[in-house]
A and B are shown apart, each in its own frame.
Chain A
Amino acid sequence: MNRFFALWKREVASYFVSPVAYILATMFLVVMGVGFWFIANVRLMSGATFYELLRALFGGIGWVAVLMVIPVLSMRSFAEEKRSGTLEMLLTAPVRGGAVVLSKFLGIFVVYVMMWLPTLLYFPMLQHISGGSVEIDVGALAAAYLGVFLLGGFFLSIGLLCSALTENLIIASISSFAVITLIFLAGFLPEVSPVPALRRFTEPLSPILHMLEFGRGVIDTRAVVLYVSSTLLMLTVTTRLLESRRWRA
């Protein structure tokens, strides 16, 4: 546990000693802020309810921010260690590959969560702007954030795997961006597919629909299980990949 905590602490700290986290957080909050401003001005004036605003924020503009931030947030994790050679120091220490991967994942996950935290301020603001006509549903809000964190966790684990595959940061970020975007775009299939069977099959898998549901305040356990297990799968694959140099002949 001691070892794991040391790894995790180092991982989180590494983001804050370099400008990466600050630049990303700024970028993220600018995009979210502009989105929020737009939603608050345009949608609110046209009489949208709290739930509609929530869906617009999390199911709409939130995606842009997530697709932008996650590949950059996760690209350094293994690629940088490989490039600088510190992976050799890490893997020759008596720590399990699983602990290394999990600590890195929880490290970037915490940074990701921290980026979202300032957006909590939007809601008291929303209430203020609307002059009290918008009621804040805390339960729905919590569900929306849960959705953002579940999907974020899954995408971060994809980013981690991409990072473990290369020692080039650009390749790591572009490949994870490609994979995540592909998954995002596949989320439109239930709506655009001309084949009814494909529509039925992809509907329970669509991250876009999931996000809209979470944004409505609905926690679908199928979606929760899907993202948690997919994340664990990605982390397991990353661990195997990392340890393969030890057992691969």
Chain B
Amino acid sequence: MPTMIEVQHLTKKYPGSVVAVEDVSFSVASGEVVGFLGPNGAGKSTTMRILAGYLSPTGGEVKVNGLDVVRNGLEVRKRLGYLPETCPLYTDMRVSEYLRYRFDLKGPSRRHRRAGVERAMERCGLADVQNRLIGQLSKGFRQRVGIADALVHNPDLLILDEPTIGLDPNQIVQIRNLIRELAVSHTILISSHILSEIEATCSRVIVMHKGKVLESSPLNELSHRWFSGSQLRVEVKADAPEVEETFRSLDDVKSVTVHQEDEWACAELTFVTDADYREEVFLCVQGRGWILRELMAKRHSLEEAFVNMTTGDAGS
């Protein structure tokens, strides 16, 4: 697959020797949906702004579609839709008027304007508010106008900086669905510090921390790499100390924690390998004659992986 974004040894220093991004390299293939993850201040927005041609790199090379963002800025910007973090809009314009204006600035030719604007409004659910002033819209609608703006000229690449920030849960779901729809025909780079966000929409994640890339891998690989040992949750009708002792005697068990809920003992088991131990645990419970009400393999959440990565010394 051809490469859409190619970033090599990107460094960005702000005046006062603040290093926002340091020696960052990654690439995004055409058609991929990549999540840009990191705590606040990790350098995500700076990297995206450089990609969008708003800031210049201090060092390194950034290419979009094989074109350098500094030397061929104009060409790059034609093929790219960008939603800044703060989603700035002209509040004195009406929604459709604003999108027409943005199409005129970015689009190929005026002949396609009506179709382009209507498609963007339809996709973002803006048809009902198209004649309202942007300044009178709620945060959720403004965010959608920002996304509609990013895709109004049908670019190959979408760069969305925290597209769901400040939205209510329903709106978040709508935006996620929209992003999934867009993923069919666009390459998308989304930043977020909300992990479920990335988990829900992206196939690959790039983790940034303190201006550096910590990880760049598919989602499922990520959790494997940052966790060793599978985890099981077991609930049986028995006394906690007895359950703890029994499970400790199993092979490969690394740790066991048990707490009592009425007459049920709830145990969390961690094993030394990634293998599936559910069968062994079931046989053990059966052997003791306990009643089993839950046996669940815990999937490592991205949250945990993220906390592990960014609180350890990996970033500094």
Contacts and interface: CB of A to CB of B under 8 A. Distances in A.
Nearest to B11: A249
Interface string A1-26: 01101110110001001100000000
Contacts of A249: 56-59
Given A6-B105, A10-B101, A247 B84 contact: no
Given A3-B104, A248-B56, A249-B56, A18 B92 contact: yes
Contact of A247 (B56, B74, B92): B56
A94 B88 contact: no
Interface of A is mostly: helix
B102 A14 contact: no
Interface string B20-57: 00000000000000000000000000000100111111
Nearest to A91: B54
A85 B86 contact: yes
Interface residues of B, number: 33
Interface residues of A, number: 26
A89 B49 CA distance: 11
Contacts of B104: 2-3, 5-6
Interface in A234-249: 245-249
Interface in A182-217: none
B86 A96 contact: no
Contact of B55 (A17, A85, A245): A245
B105 A93 contact: yes
Contact of B84 (A89, A94, A95, A246): A89
Contacts of B55: 245-246
A245 to B, nearest CB: 6
Nearest to A17: B92
B149 A94 contact: no
Given A3-B104, A84-B88, A92-B82, 11 more contacts: A2-B110, A14-B90, A88-B49, A88-B54, A94-B74, A94-B77, A94-B105, A94-B106, A95-B105, A96-B74, A249-B57
Interface of B: 49, 52-59, 70, 73-75, 77-78, 80, 82, 84, 86, 88-93, 101-102, 104-106, 109-110, 149
